[in-house]
Structure 1
Amino acid sequence: MNISFDGRTVIVTGAAHGFGRAISLAFAARGATVWACDVQEAGLQETARQGGDLVHVRTVDVSNRDAVRAFVQEASGGSRVDVLVNNAGGVLGQVGRPVEEISEDDWHAIFRVNVDGAFYFSQAVAPLMKAANFGRIVNISSGAGLGVSLTGIQAYASAKAAQIGLTRQLAHELGAWGITVNNVAPGFVRSNPTTERQWESYGEEGQRRLVQGIAMKRLGSPDDIAHAVLFFASDFAGWVTGQILSVDGGK
């Protein structure tokens, strides 16, 4: 399968490391003009360095609706965005705690990044995609959104489940304009400082149990997630929408 994105404009959120960087580089390697954003400036600059002239980076807080709209306006030139990848998210440094100890701010902070950000970006690109009668929106959720979070973070599992619901709803709303909306649900991948700390916290025995619980008996990589995104964004997936693809090595 030869997938090309020559002439396409792609927005990737959460692109300073991990999945977002791998996704940005994968699109650029196949000819797309990529607009990548994050709140971590240093990581963004490394993504830009690796991506070359086709990768443009901006510091954007995805929970700020006005900032999102300004970024989409710049990336699109006011006319076109072909692909949106809502990858920004995570646990924001939180750890698993009993439900009665969770503050209102901690609960809402995770929702703002994982759900509100995906909504604001989808809302901003929808008029452009409708005008073009074409578009691809790919949301990056998590196995936690389909089951339970390995970290025990209630807001994270809930936010990722909400993002999956948003995916299905937007697929039905936007399909008449040739816009597909799909979701990639990664399993555990060592892709950033947070997942490295999580991996180390399991110890040798916990790491062994985690890997043995995977059908393929190995962890995946950020490239495995990027490849699933490329499929959903490609012409090969033109009649695929509202779907959640678990990329987890088999459970």
Structure 2
Amino acid sequence: MNIDFAGKTVIVTGAAHGFGRAIALAFASRGATVHACDVNEAGLAETAALGENVRTHLLDVGDRSAAQRLIAGIEAEGATVDILVNNAGGVRGQVGRPIEEISEEDWQSIFDVNLSGAFFMAQAVAPGMKRQKYGRIINISSGAGLGISLTGIQAYASAKAGQIGLTRQLAHELGAWNITVNNVAPGFVRSNPTTERQWDAMGEDGQAKLLQNIALKRLGVPDDIAAMVLFFASDFAGWVSGQVISVDGGK
């Protein structure tokens, strides 16, 4: 399957490491102009150094005005965003705690990046995609959005489930303009400092149990997630929308 994105303009959020970096580089290596966004400036610089046609932007996706400014700036240069990958997310340093210990700030901060950010970015690119009657929006959720959070973080499981609902809703709203909206739900992948800490915290018994529950008996890598994103963004998925695909080695 030859997938090419020459001439396409792509935005990837959360592109400073892990899934986002792998996704950004996968598009860039296939000819796209990639706008890599994150709050981590050093990580963005590392991503850009690894691929051609990668431009970087400091962006907090939970800031609606900042999202609007980014898209306005890209369009002012004569481009329209063809593909948006909402990968920014995570647990923002939190760990699983009993429900009565969760503050309003703890709850909201996870929703800001995982759910509100996906909405704000989609909202910003939608007018341009409608004008050109073409677009691909791919949201990166989690197995936690389909089941439970392995780390017990209530807001994370809830926000990722909400993102899956947003995917389905936007697929129906935007489909008339030939805009597809799909979702990738990764399983546990050691892809960034947070997942490394989670892996270490499991201990040998927990790690063995996790692997035993995976059909393929091994962990995936960020490129496995990027491959599914490329499919959803490609012409091969032109009649696929509102779908959630688990990339988790089989559960």
How high is the sequence identity, in percent, across the aligned residues?
73
Distance in 2 (alpha carbons) for counterparts of 1:75 and 1:107: 32
Distance in 1 (alpha carbons) for counterparts of 2:179 and 2:73: 21
5 Å matches for 1:23-172? 23-52=23-52, 54-76=53-75, 77=77, 79-172=79-172
Partner in structure 2 of residue 4 of structure 1 = 4
* TM-score of the two chains, using structure 2 as the length reference: 0.99
Distance in 2 (alpha carbons) for counterparts of 1:144 and 1:188: 10
Q: What SS does structure 1 have at the residue aligned with 2:51?
A: helix
Partner in structure 2 of residue 205 of structure 1 = 205
Matched positions, count: 250
Structure 1 runs of 4+ aligned residues shifted over 6 Å read none
Distance in 1 (alpha carbons) for counterparts of 2:13 and 2:78: 19
Partner in structure 1 of residue 242 of structure 2 = 242
Report which stretch shifted further, 74-83 or 200-209: 74-83
Shift of 1:221: 0.3
Do 2:189 and 2:222's aligned partners in 1 also have CA atoms closer than 8 Å?
Answer: yes
Do 1:79 and 1:128's aligned partners in 2 also have CA atoms closer than 8 Å?
Answer: no
Letter in 1 for 2:112: R
Letter in 2 for 1:8: K
Shift of 1:39: 0.2
1:203-231 superposed Cα distances (whole Å, 9 cap, x missing partner): 11110110111000000000000000000
Structure 2 unpaired stretches of 5+ = none
Structure 1 unpaired stretches of 5+ = none
Report which stretch shifted further, 203-212 or 134-143: 203-212
Root mean square deviation of aligned Cα: 0.7
Do 1:122 and 1:137's aligned partners in 2 also have CA atoms closer than 8 Å?
Answer: yes
1:50-98 superposed Cα distances (whole Å, 9 cap, x missing partner): 012x000011111111111111122333541100000000000000000
Distance in 1 (alpha carbons) for counterparts of 2:94 and 2:248: 23
